[in-house]
């Protein structure tokens, strides 16, 4: 039991958090400046869903932005694979 006379010291530690993003799209040059302006560090990009899945699995970014009109597998079709590769990563289509 903690008495009312007990003092507690609370220490707040301020850390600089960098949110990391991966882009799976053919138009990376259009999306990257938007993500950077929003405070993200773009740590990788890929033009195909299969390459994007490999990047996401290895890098575990906070966000992956996926273009729907990809060659082969569409962005929508790639969402389950991306979530499997990194369950905590948010996916933006």
Ordered by start, the domain boundaries in the chain are: 19-92
Least Cα distance to 65 among 87, 80, 82, 84 occurs for 82
In angstroms, the CA 19 to CA 64 distance is 11
Q: Which residues of the chain have pLDDT under 70?
A: 1-17
Q: Does domain 19-92 match CATH 3.40.50.2300?
A: yes
Task: Write down the pTM of the prediction.
Answer: 0.79
Q: Provide the angle, in degrees to the nearest 10, between the axes of the packed helices 49-59 and 75-85.
A: 20
Q: What pLDDT, on a 0 to 100 scale, did the predictor assign at position 5? A: 57
Q: What pLDDT, on a 0 to 100 scale, did the predictor assign at position 18? A: 73
């Amino acid at each position: 039991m903690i008495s009312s006379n007990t003092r507690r010291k609370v220490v707040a530690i301020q850390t600089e958090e960098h949110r990391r993003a991966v882009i799976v799209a053919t138009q990376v040059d259009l999306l990257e400046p938007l993500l950077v302006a929003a405070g993200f560090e773009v740590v990788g990009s890929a033009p195909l869903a299969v390459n994007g899945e490999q990047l996401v699995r290895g890098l575990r970014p906070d966000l992956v932005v996926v273009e729907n009109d990809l060659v082969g597998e569409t962005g929508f079709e790639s969402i389950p694979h991306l979530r499997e590769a990194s369950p905590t990563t948010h996916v933006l289509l």
